[in-house]
Amino acid sequence: MNLIAAVDRNWAIGNKNALLVKIPRDQKLFFEMTQGKVVVMGRNTLESLPQKQPLKNRVNIVLSTNQDYVVKGATVVHSLEELFGELRQYESKDVFVVGGEMVYRALLPYCDTAHITKIDYAYEADAYFPCLDEMPEWELVADSEEQTYFDLEYYFLQYQKTRPKA
């Protein structure tokens, strides 16, 4: 499975259930990479999307502990066991974990590739992605040239898990 996220220099991903910043090129890359694929997210992430609607042209799977939670156009699962049962019908390479913090942390051990947009700025934040640079099982395998959006510098990074989960 894949993880995809935009993080700041402290690996922050959000504040008050919103992205830290919207960078058009990052959003375009997200769209291109997840188009026609499976996206896995938590309820808060879904509710932070425009009109609180699932992403178009993707299979949306929402992980929520609320047994009564229903959303049109998405499959709602209530446990990792239920999620993995649902994911059996898809190729692992076609599954993208898209947030938020608790979902990233829960699924990180089961993922082998992370697509990270690293923004060289520290934002006020209340949600964080695990710092892959501090995890020996994750290795930076690709990085882009410096990108800029107004006065922001950012990079597209790819990490691979080097030691599979036992």
The two tokens of residue 86 are 């649902």
The span from the CA of 59 to the CA of 105, in Å, is 21
pTM of full prediction above 0.85? yes
Chain segment 3-30, per-residue pLDDT in tens: 999 999 999 999 999 999 999 999 999 9
CATH number for the region 2-161 comes to 3.40.430.10
Chain segment 131-157, per-residue pLDDT in tens: 999 999 999 999 999 999 999 999 999
